[in-house]
């Protein structure tokens, strides 16, 4: 099974697609494609394999490691896209819920935009 998530970051006008596949050995294969050089550097440092503990153990996760993140900003949605795809692959989120909700949205709230749309 394979799970795909997309990160659309309007603030920096960049996009990324994250593909995560559960391997036979229980680890997860990760493929990140982006039009952002910083995200692609992150992808290179992250590597193509993460473990379930990288998904379960947020604090000690390779996904969040400062040495892996490098210049990736705290507001970049790519690490969250990895978590969402991995949650699907590990059965921590159902495919039916993913199909029903389609997307999670972060709204940058300003005085002019007080309500969610």
CATH number of 2-101: 3.90.1010
pLDDT at 117 > cutoff 70 = no
pLDDT in tens, 100-113: 888 888 877 776 65
Residue extents of the structural domains in the chain? 2-101
Contact by Cβ (8 Å): 92, 99: no
**In three state form, how does the secondary structure of 73-101 look?**
CCCCCHHHHHHHHHHHHCCCCCHHHHHHH
Spatial CA neighbour of 51 closest among 27, 22, 19, 23: 27
Look at residue 98 in the predicted model and tell me its pLDDT: 85
What integer is the mean pLDDT of 80-87?
96
Whether residue 75 is predicted with pLDDT greater than 80 in this model: the reply is: yes
């Amino acid at each position: 099974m394979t799970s795909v998530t997309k990160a659309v970051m309007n603030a920096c006008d960049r996009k990324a697609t994250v593909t995560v596949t559960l391997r036979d050995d229980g680890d997860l294969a990760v493929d990140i494609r982006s039009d952002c050089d910083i995200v692609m550097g992150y992808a290179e440092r992250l590597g193509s394999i993460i473990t379930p503990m990288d998904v379960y153990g947020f604090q000690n996760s390779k996904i969040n490691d400062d040495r892996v993140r490098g210049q990736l900003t705290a507001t970049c949605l790519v690490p969250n896209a990895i978590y969402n795809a991995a949650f699907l692959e590990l059965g921590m989120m159902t495919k039916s819920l993913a199909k029903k909700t389609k997307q999670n949205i972060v709204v940058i709230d300003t005085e002019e935009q007080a309500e969610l749309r």
